[in-house]
Amino acid sequence: MKPSPAPDAVALSAMLMGRAPRPLRGHRRGGAWKVAYADFVTTLMALFIVLWLMNASARVKEAVSGYFRDPRGYTHKLGAGPSSAGEGMRVDRQTAANLRRQIELAMRKMPDFGKLRDQVRFSVTGEGLRIDLLETQQGLFFVTGRAQPTAAGEQLLSVMARELAKMSNQIIVEGHTDCLPFRNALPTSGYGNWELSADRANAARRLLHESGVAPDRVMEVRGFADRRLLFPADPHDPRNRRISVVVNLPAE
């Protein structure tokens, strides 16, 4: 004859208190295994992360380390905060080529970009990625002799601005003219190339802001008149009349 099983804690407590124990309806399963399984999966994930970091580049390791040391401060430094914060990816000299390709791809979607392609020039200088919009004799981006953008100028600057708005780098806007003087313009009076170059740069700046570039991103607006000719051998070349948007790149 098998011995009767020992009463469990609940039944023993009921017996001591003079109450009849409840009949057993089968063993209840606990949830302790779920906690153990979750701990196992978490440990496994941590192992995979460690193995990935061991084979990652020094730049990735520095980024991960900086984030865990100061998540909010490091995110702000990289410009990687939420989209509503007006921050974006920070471009350096290693990633400037990617920014150029993004802007070029966006411009190619314009219906008339085939007519503008030869008038847009990209270059990397000591200040950063320079985007020059070169004028034609008839006035392609601005009305000739005026600071009023043409429809093509407005559209191109808007397309460019939407790409620049995704970055966090500071921007410089420059205006340049050729050597043709304004009629009746004197160094001390009248409207001349100095005024025109500065006014066009400011008009371009306003268009960038209207299309999404935050106001604090523009660090300088410059008007150079004919002091920095793109083609000094031909100072009357209309391509000397240009707007330059410079994406400032941090020094290495």
- Residues 32-72: tens digit of each pLDDT: 778 888 888 899 888 888 888 787 766 566 666 655 655 54
Average pLDDT over residues 94-101: 86
Q: Provide the mean pLDDT of the chain.
A: 82
Q: To which CATH superfamily is domain 96-248 assigned?
A: OmpA-like domain (3.30.1330.60)
Residue 103 token pair: 């802007």
pLDDT of 77 reads 46
Q: What is residue 218's DSSP assignment?
A: E
Helices marked H in the chain: 9-16, 32-54, 58-69, 71-78, 96-108, 113-116, 151-164, 193-210
pLDDT of 85 reads 38
For strand 128-134 and strand 171-176, is the pairing parallel, antiparallel, or unpaired? unpaired
pLDDT of 15 reads 52
What are the sequence ranges of the domains in the chain? 57-87, 96-248
